[in-house]
Chains A and B, each alone.
Chain A
Amino acid sequence: MAIVFVPYALRKYCEDKNIVEISGKTLGELIDNLESRYPGTKAHLLEEGSLKPGVAAVVNHTTTRKGLLEKIDDDSEIHFINAVSGGSV
């Protein structure tokens, strides 16, 4: 299963864990599975079926441009961080 680094603001939904293991073949599937296990997380990550404009998903070492279609491997690690664009939060 992939390792998800839980953003600080979502740890309260995830039993205060900072890392959880979640399965999913794509980022979208992984977020769905995260929500099933830890309800309340998805609303902080998605809006109208896409990653929120202020959220960037990092899969392994790269910030994905494929959004929810990004493929996830069993040994992937995923971070949700603030999107950095034009130097702003």
Chain B
Amino acid sequence: MVATHENKNKYKVIGKSPIRHDGVDKVTGRATYGADIKVPGLIWGDVLRSPHPHARILSIDTSKAESMDGVFAVVTNKDFPNVEEKEVSTGEDVVNLKRDQANIMAYDKVHYKGHVIAGVAAIDRNTAQEAIKKIEVKYEVLKHISDVDSAMAKNAPIILESLIGDHLGENVPNTNVAKIFRHEFGDVEQAFKDSDCVIERTFTMSMIHQGYIEPHNATAVWGQDGKINLWASTQGSFGVRAQTSGMLGIPESKIKVNYVEIGGGFGGKTKVYLEPIAALLSKKSGGRPVKLVMDRSSVFEATGPAPGGKVRMKIGANKDGKITAAETDIMFESGGYPGSAVAAGSICVFACYNLTNSKITGYDILVNKPKSAAYRAPGSPQVSFAIESVIDEICEELSLDKLQFRIDNASKEGTRRGDGVKFIRIGLEECLEAVKSSDHWNSPLGEAPKGKARGRGLATGYWMNGGGKSTCDLMLNDDGKVTLNEGSADIGGTRTSISMQAAEVLGIPVEDFHPSVPDTDSIGFTGVTGGSRTTYATGLAAYNAAQKLVEELKNRLSTIWEADSDQINFSNGTFSFENESIHIQDLAGKLDPTGGPATSTASVNLDSAGNAFGAHICDLEVDLETGKTDVIRYTAVQDVGTAVYPQYCEGQIQGGVVQGLGWALNEEYFITEDGVMANKSYLDYRMPTSLDMPMIDAIMVEVPNPLHPFGVRGVGEVTLAPPLAAAALAIKEATGKRHFDLPVKPGRIIDLYKS
């Protein structure tokens, strides 16, 4: 359902949902994924992983593995070049190459169970697996840390001994807290004193995984000319190129990353794990192509999950329904190396509310778990759970309407986020008004069956969206069709949503576009498909390329029509001048005398992207005997800017809600006392399936983004922010008990309900 706030009938292509260009290949199984890659002479790689969550490596003996028949190469961290331990920019990301190297292959210590210690290349996969078992490692097992409190405790074992923490601008050695930062505005203390009601709660949440279907994989060929050819499942080929280049000390121009389809990423495929190892194994194997494919347990144990941690939240409000002050401490587990989503979480935490007195303190904390990575609106779901839960309690305490309270305190254009940055035109108020008028909000919960109870939760969420660098090339072929090349990995059908923007400009049906994602040698730099940036930023590159193509064609026509190009009009795909007119697709075959093929290219490097807000309603039923929960109705309202491809928007919203409900109700890294993950398979890591979910209604509010000519906003991430609180608050309404720990699983529900 689309609730349009501004007229978009002016568009002919935007706002439709045509058959996606990659659809046939994907539903027929013809699409090529990383693990499908077959190169002549291909051999297999595998890696040895640490059985301990925290240990010093005393020695590694690879001799028995190296002497095995069929083994071509063994690599350890010693095979990597020495790089400086400092933060550097890769053009779209800030990385610490030394730590990233150590994360993909440990050099003196293992920081988490599953940490890679050595790699092997062999004639086949079985031989590689057998060779791995022959590598002998001596460890000094160290005390491990599994949570933020233990990591910050006095005399806690230090995980990364070279770390100098940045604590509010002070350098602090011997710490597991990599960073403490703060945003503070107004007089928070006084405002709390002046409040009619102050609620303070502490929330905990477990590390969880994105749960993409396709495991990580990489195939590499280190050519005799010193160039590296790579295939990998990634959200960004250029990111793979930059990280591999940095870790191996090879110029980016000597690395080509070939695009293959990707079976999900959700932020977890923005970092490399196998690619540099595959390249080194290929080099040591005499240039043979080497392929590595992770199994599921390795994906869980040693890629980049979303951080768990702890959030302290304190909110003050007055009886008239206005928030007076807000204060939070956000403590995120970064995993085995620094760099959690706490900075993003700190931007998101108060973004839905118009505050004048606020204080946010963020903590980035090392624990002996895999190094965390991005997951769909990184950091926002955790903090949304905390603030929305306290807002709900404030409303209850002051007997205020939960929806009206959010409307009365909602951020709008000119409101400052918690980090001080002012919003441009945003659509939170419109989302909340859409909730107010929705069928769901105005329908009763209905009576629960005997032994069950029902509740309804409401929550909002925010994600800032991303801009960055993107490139798009267009070629108008003689037959009037358009070849479009763009650099963004296509995860959600973005070939089509990007093509639609060029099609809108050119007046050519999008079905006449042939979009492709080429390798990194064949398209300009394009950032990762993440941050809800692709349809916005790469789409804008396509828009600009189309505008350039129109100008080029006007120049060509000026020769044919003997007119100045600025006298030629272009509208709805047709060029006209005085009594002459021609459609762009008819012109395509007549260009040879004017200079040959018409092409254009455009690159952008965009500043911020226009913000995204959502407001969700969750109806849920709890079995009061077992604690089992069933979501019985769910409505997600979201400002999507302009829905370029409404079915995609709906799908993104629904997908994010399902992931959020999994996070809320079941999913967790269940870490044993030994510091290892006990549930490292999909049998035990309980993600929701279609059988668990009702139809999720998506109400798309369209408040056009002023930063994009079509009003496009990123859509894919904010949808994950509200479900955690929406579900937990529905459980509260059903059972009368508030939950402060995620996941709100059956055992916790029953324990609290019966207490």
Contacts and interface: CB of A to CB of B under 8 A. Distances in A.
A86 B242 CA distance: 14
A65 B469 CA distance: 9
B374 A65 contact: no
Interface string A78-89: 010111111111
A86 B93 contact: yes
A79 B419 contact: yes
B184 A8 contact: yes
A79 B343 contact: no
A38 interface: no
B467 A63 contact: yes
Contacts of A64: 607
A86 B169 contact: no
B422 A60 contact: yes
Interface string B345-385: 01100000000000000101000000001110011000000
Contacts of B185: 18
A25 interface: no
Contact of A61 (B270, B344, B423, B605): B423
A69 to B, nearest CB: 12
A5 B184 CA distance: 10
B343 A53 contact: no
B199 to A, nearest CB: 25
Contact of A87 (B87, B379, B423): B379
A12 B373 CA distance: 33
Contacts of B179: 89
A34 B755 CA distance: 58
B704 interface: no
B338 interface: yes
A63 B607 contact: yes
Contact of B270 (A77, A82, A86, A89): A86
B736 to A, nearest CB: 36
B540 interface: no
Contacts of B707: 62
A68 interface: no
Nearest to B96: A53
Instruction: Determine which residue in B94, B184, B605 has the highest number of CB atoms from chain A within 10 A of its CB, and name it.
Output: B94
Contact of B419 (A12, A81, A86): A81
B560 interface: no
A86 B373 CA distance: 7
Interface string A49-75: 000111000101111110000000000
A10 to B, nearest CB: 7
Nearest to B166: A9
B347 A84 contact: yes
A53 B605 CA distance: 17
A44 interface: yes
Interface residues of A, number: 29
A54 B54 CA distance: 28
B94 A54 contact: yes
Interface residues of B, number: 53
A81 to B, nearest CB: 5
B343 A89 contact: yes
Contacts of B89: 53
Contacts of B339: 88-89
Contacts of A86: 93, 239, 267, 270-271, 373-374, 528, 530
A65 B424 contact: no
B87 A8 contact: no
A76 to B, nearest CB: 11
B561 interface: no
B668 to A, nearest CB: 19
Contacts of B608: 58, 61-63
Nearest to B423: A61
Nearest to B239: A86
A65 B470 CA distance: 13
Given A58-B421, A65-B607, A79-B420, A12 B94 contact: no
B88 A53 contact: yes
B255 to A, nearest CB: 19
A88 B181 CA distance: 14
Nearest to B364: A89
A54 B87 contact: yes
Contact of A79 (B181, B182, B375, B421): B421
Nearest to A62: B607
Interface string B459-472: 00000100110000
B172 interface: no
| Centre residue among A60, A61, A65, A86 by max chain B CB count within 10 A | A86
A82 B343 contact: yes
B181 A10 contact: no
Contacts of A77: 422
Q: Which of A18, A60, A83, A88 has the most CB of B within 10 A?
A: A88
Contacts of A82: 181, 343, 346, 362
Given A18-B185, A81-B347, A86-B374, A9 B169 contact: yes
Nearest to A8: B182
Given A8-B168, A65-B467, A89-B179, A81 B421 contact: yes
A35 to B, nearest CB: 15
A87 B378 contact: yes
A22 to B, nearest CB: 16
A69 B344 CA distance: 25
Interface string B322-347: 00000000000010001111111011
Contacts of A87: 267, 270, 341, 344, 373-375, 378-379, 530
A76 B378 CA distance: 29
Contacts of A61: 421-424, 608
Nearest to B363: A89
B443 to A, nearest CB: 37
B142 interface: no
A30 to B, nearest CB: 16
Contacts of B56: none
B401 interface: no
Contacts of A10: 169
A79 B423 CA distance: 13
B479 interface: no
A62 B239 CA distance: 23
Interface string A1-16: 0000101111010000
B328 to A, nearest CB: 14
A63 to B, nearest CB: 5
A54 B166 CA distance: 12
Nearest to B371: A88
B92 interface: yes
Contact of A5 (B346, B347, B375, B420): B420
B683 to A, nearest CB: 28
14 contacts: A9-B168, A53-B89, A61-B423, A61-B608, A62-B467, A81-B421, A82-B181, A83-B94, A83-B343, A85-B92, A87-B375, A88-B378, A89-B338, A89-B364
Q: Which 10 A-B pairs have the closest CB atoms?
A: A87-B374, A87-B378, A9-B169, A62-B607, A82-B343, A88-B339, A8-B182, A53-B94, A62-B608, A53-B87
Interface of B: 87-89, 92-94, 166, 168-169, 178-179, 181-185, 239, 267, 270-271, 334, 338-344, 346-347, 362, 364, 373-375, 378-379, 419-424, 464, 467-468, 528, 530, 605-608, 707
Interface of A: 5, 7-10, 12, 18, 44, 52-54, 58, 60-65, 77, 79, 81-89
Given A61-B608, A87-B373, 7 more contacts: A77-B422, A86-B239, A86-B373, A88-B339, A88-B340, A89-B178, A89-B362
